């Protein structure tokens, strides 16, 4: 959660049960309210090493490693 750490009080890793990215974002937002507004637009998601953007319904398997990656603005 590197870049997200500024919203989490420097928490870098945690375990959360979620069936998809939308559920993960909801649970992260409940735990870290300052993070909630930037989750969907500010981060892409890597699940077990595979990158996904705009992937709210992407399934997350139990014991999967999920990494939030800051999106890079293009232009």
pLDDT band at 74 (very low <50, low <70, confident <90, very high): low
Query: pTM value?
Result: 0.85
pLDDT attached to residue 49: 96
Angle at 68 between CA 46 and CA 19, to 5 degrees: 65
pLDDT attached to residue 75: 54
Tokens (6 digits) for 48:
């077990």
List, in order of start, the domains of the chain with CATH numbers. 2-70 (3.10.20.30)
Reported in sequence order, the residue ranges of 24-75 that DSSP labels E, i.e. its strands, are 43-47, 50-52, 66-70
**Percent of the chain beyond pLDDT 90?**
59
CA 32, CA 55: separation in Å to the nearest integer? 20
Q: Which of 25, 27, 18 is nearest to 56 (CA)?
A: 25
pLDDT in tens, 18-72: 999 999 999 999 999 999 999 988 889 999 999 987 789 999 999 999 999 888 7
């Amino acid at each position: 959660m590197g870049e997200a750490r500024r919203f989490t009080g420097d928490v870098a890793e945690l375990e959360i049960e979620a069936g998809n990215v939308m559920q993960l974002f909801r649970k992260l937002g409940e735990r870290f309210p300052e993070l909630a507004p930037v989750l969907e637009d500010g981060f892409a998601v890597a699940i077990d090493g595979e990158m996904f953007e705009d992937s709210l319904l992407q399934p997350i398997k139990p014991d999967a490693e999920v990494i939030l990656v800051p999106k890079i603005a293009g232009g």
